[in-house]
């Protein structure tokens, strides 16, 4: 985010979720005001309406949903721009009221997806515990701040940030069955010049296919391949209710300021009915693309100079 940091940030709430953890990873946002929203749509609409300066929403592999909603909200309506991506490890803690011991836990609450991801740990560590579903992992944690009643949950499977926020004791860490997973979040603002290239950037696009035939997707991808631009994500999305029409949500390596990306984008703009640029921004993992000698900025500049010589007759 260039310039003065925005003061207000929406995010997919409630408080204490992985999305809030993502927002707190961005230094400027960590100092700003935070507005939890009930849905991705609501968070992005708040940006469009100018009520907030940016919104943090999940875009890939989320525990608590939101991904399709994010892709669809970025693909339609007034343009928005991704300015940053954030990776958050998908790790759960078992949190309980202060003073609770693991042996005391008889009822565990959490969002069903979180429970599913910790099933093996639960059956090994708490074989007799009963499970009570909650609307979100954060809601399960928040509920522990109220008065305990007969049969109400003793502990919650939640994000580390939720245990912190609600001052709960962490009885066990990293209780997820598969470690190493991450959820990818994006910070979304209103249209503006993209942040400058860093050498390790991503560009997000939505492209509508020209027609539904066996080679249409291939033609689209040839624009990337012909210019040496690697894709890191592609997802087809049905367009409207028309059967057989598709758009593609695409992440590619590189920045709109890179020649090879610019050429691929211009190629797409020429050959497909609609291309929406959703942003160029630094990769959270800092991985630099392998750019072949044929597709460096220098190669494009040199080719242009060569062409200009030919047009002048200097063979």
Please list every residue from 105 through 164 that binds a second copy, using CB under 8 A: 111-113, 115-116, 119, 131, 133-136, 139
Q: What's the min distance (Å) between Cβ of 25 and a second copy?
A: 18
Minimum gap (Å) between residue 89 Cβ and a second copy: 10
| Closest CB to a second copy among residues 132, 169 | 132
Beta carbon of residue 151, minimum distance to a second copy (angstroms, whole number): 15
Rule CB under 8 A: say whether 32 interacts with a second copy. Answer: no
Q: Measured from the CB atom, is 61 or 198 closer to a second copy?
A: 61
Radius of gyration for the chain, computed over Cα atoms and rounded to the nearest angstrom: 23
Sole window of 66-74, 92-100, 121-129, 149-157 interacting with a second copy (rule: CB under 8 A): 66-74
Buried b (16+ CB within 10 A) or exposed e, 248-287: bbbbbbbbbbbbbbbbbbebbeeebeebbbbbbbbbbeee
- 231-250: contacts with a second copy (CB under 8 A): 231-236, 238, 240-241, 243-244, 246, 248
Residues 68-97 that bind a second copy (CB under 8 A): 68-69, 79, 81
When binding is defined by CB under 8 A, the residue of 24, 28, 35, 41 that contacts a second copy is: 41
Q: Of these, 106, 173, 287, 288, which contacts a second copy (CB under 8 A)? A: 287
The whole-angstrom distance between residue 180's C-alpha and the CA centroid of its chain comes to 17
- Compare residues 36 and 100 and give the one whose CB is closer to a second copy: 36
Find how far residue 313's CA is from the centre of its chain. Answer: 51
- In DSSP notation, 133-157 reads E-SSHHHHHHHTTS---TT--SEEE
Judged by CB under 8 A, does residue 174 bind a second copy? no
Contacts with a second copy by CB under 8 A: the residue count is 89
Please say which residue, 42 or 169, places its beta carbon nearer to a second copy.
42
156-175 burial string, b = 16+ CB within 10 Å, else e? bbbbbbbbebbebbebbeeb
Inter-CA distances, 100 with 10, 154, 155, Å: 34, 8, 9
Minimum CB separation of residue 306 from a second copy in Å reads: 5
User: Which of 38, 102, 170, 174 is close enough to bind a second copy by CB under 8 A?
Assistant: 38
CB atoms within 10 A of CB 200: 16
Cβ proximity of 66 and 58 under 8 Å: yes
Nearer residue to a second copy within complex by CB, 5 or 257: 257
Cβ 125 vs Cβ 216: under 8 Å? no
Distance, CA of 189 to CA of 56 (rounded, Å): 9
The span of 18-26, 36-44, 100-108, 168-176 binding a second copy (CB under 8 A) equals: 36-44
Cis peptide before 292 (omega within 30 of 0): no
- Residue 102 has which token pair? 């693991």
Distance (Å, rounded) from C-alpha 247 to C-alpha 110?
Answer: 35
Phi, psi of 215 (to 5 degrees): -105, 0
Residue 27 lies near a second copy (rule: CB under 8 A): no
Pick the binder of a second copy from 10, 40, 122, 144 (CB under 8 A).
40
Specify the stretch interacting with a second copy by CB under 8 A; choose among 21-29, 94-102, 121-129, 222-230: 222-230
Within 266-285, the residues that bind a second copy by CB under 8 A are 266-267, 269-271, 276-277, 285
Residues 177-216 that bind a second copy (CB under 8 A): 180-181, 191-194, 212-215
């Amino acid at each position: 985010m260039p310039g003065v940091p925005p003061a207000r940030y929406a995010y997919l709430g409630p408080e204490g979720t992985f999305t809030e953890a993502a927002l707190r990873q961005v230094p400027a946002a960590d100092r700003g005001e935070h507005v939890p929203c009930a849905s991705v749509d609501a968070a992005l609409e708040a940006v469009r309406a100018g009520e907030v300066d940016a919104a943090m929403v999940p875009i890939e592999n989320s525990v608590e949903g939101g991904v399709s909603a994010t892709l669809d909200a970025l693909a339609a309506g007034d343009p928005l721009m991704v300015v940053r991506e954030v990776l958050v490890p998908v790790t759960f803690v078992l949190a309980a009221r202060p003073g609770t011991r693991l042996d005391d836990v008889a009822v565990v609450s959490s969002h069903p997806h979180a429970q599913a991801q910790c099933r093996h740990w639960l059956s090994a560590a708490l074989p007799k515990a009963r499970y009570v579903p909650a609307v979100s992992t954060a809601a399960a944690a928040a509920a522990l701040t109220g008065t305990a009643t007969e049969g109400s949950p003793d502990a919650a499977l939640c994000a580390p940030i939720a245990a912190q926020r609600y001052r709960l004791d962490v009885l066990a860490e990293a209780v997820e069955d598969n470690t190493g997973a991450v959820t990818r979040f994006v910070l979304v603002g209103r249209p503006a010049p993209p942040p400058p290239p860093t050498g390790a950037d991503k560009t997000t696009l939505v492209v509508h296919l020209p027609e539904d035939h066996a080679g249409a997707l291939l033609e689209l991808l040839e624009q990337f391949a012909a210019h040496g631009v690697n894709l890191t994500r592609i997802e087809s999305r049905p367009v409207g209710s028309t059967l057989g029409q598709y758009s593609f949500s695409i992440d590619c390596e590189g920045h709109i300021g890179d020649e090879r990306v610019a050429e691929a984008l211009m190629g797409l703009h020429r050959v497909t009915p609609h291309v929406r640029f959703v942003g160029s921004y630094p990769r959270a993992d800092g991985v630099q693309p392998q750019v072949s000698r044929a597709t460096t900025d220098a190669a494009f500049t040199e080719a242009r100079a060569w062409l200009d010589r030919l047009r002048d007759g200097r063979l």
